[in-house]
Amino acid sequence: MARAINKLQEISADEKMREAYRAREKARLDMVSKLKYARRQGREEGKEEGKKEGKVIGMEEGKVIGIEEGKKQRDQELAKKLLADGLDIELVAKYTDLSLEEVKDIAGNME
């Protein structure tokens, strides 16, 4: 312990040693700061990339859902026309890809 205290006193007494210590400490703190900045930048870039990917995926899913809903609406409109022309409920279900229950509901709403 005494040797450590003596060494500390020697370093403290020598201006060149103190300056070298300050320079090393500044360099260390600069490196820590650069690493924190790089980490922060990396996170921001990752967030932006994730948002872009999420938007693309969301748009693709939205298109699929939209197409399915459009097909369903088209089938329902076709079912109404076929039922209005007197076509049998089972045949309407067969040609529109609607379930028998869905066609019955449409027929019931037409009355």
- Residue 76: per-residue pLDDT: 92
pLDDT higher than 90, residue 8: no
Residue 5 pLDDT more than 80? no
Q: Does 21 have pLDDT greater than 70? A: yes
Q: Are 106 and 83 in contact (CB under 8 A)?
A: yes
Would you say 76 and 98 are in contact if contact means Cβ atoms under 8 Å apart?
A: yes
SS3 state of residue 111: coil
Distance between CA atoms of 3 and 64, rounded to whole angstroms?
Answer: 76
Q: What is the pLDDT of residue 20?
A: 82
Least confident of 8-12, 45-49, 54-58: 8-12
| pLDDT at 110 (0 to 100) | 79
Q: pLDDT band at residue 109, thresholds of 50, 70 and 90?
A: confident
Q: Is the pLDDT of residue 11 over 70?
A: no
Each domain of the chain, given as residue ranges in start order, spans 2-110
pTM across the whole model:
0.54
CA distance 111 to 109: 6
